[in-house]
Amino acid sequence: MTSRGLVEKDFEQIAEFLHQAVTICLNIQKEHGKLLKDFSKGLVNNKDIENLKVEVEKFALSFDMPGFSLESMKYKE
């Protein structure tokens, strides 16, 4: 991740994302149970997971991908 230019505060944000993910999973376990088949039902259309996904994608897009240049792409669309 340091190759993408992340600094210490960025790693703290990543840790926060992981903490949120664990908290969401624990809440799903409380509501639906620990068995995978029950837990999986709690993942479907879960607003907390969808919100976290949006936050993570927004954060990740703020960093360049090493060795990747949009200008050099053959198929841009």
Q: pLDDT by residue (tens digit) across 20-55?
A: 999 999 999 999 999 999 999 999 999 999 999 999
The predicted pLDDT at position 77 comes to: 64
The predicted pLDDT at position 3 comes to: 65
Our measurement of the distance from residue 40's CA atom to the centroid of its chain's CA atoms, rounded to an integer in Å, reads: 18
- The whole-model pTM stands at 0.78
3-class DSSP state of 53: helix
Q: Using one digit for the tens of pLDDT, what is the confidence trace for 13-22?
A: 999 999 999 9
User: Do the Cβ atoms of 20 and 52 come closer than 8 Å?
Assistant: yes
User: Do the Cβ atoms of 1 and 11 come closer than 8 Å?
Assistant: yes
Instruction: Tell me which DSSP letter residue 14 carries.
Output: H
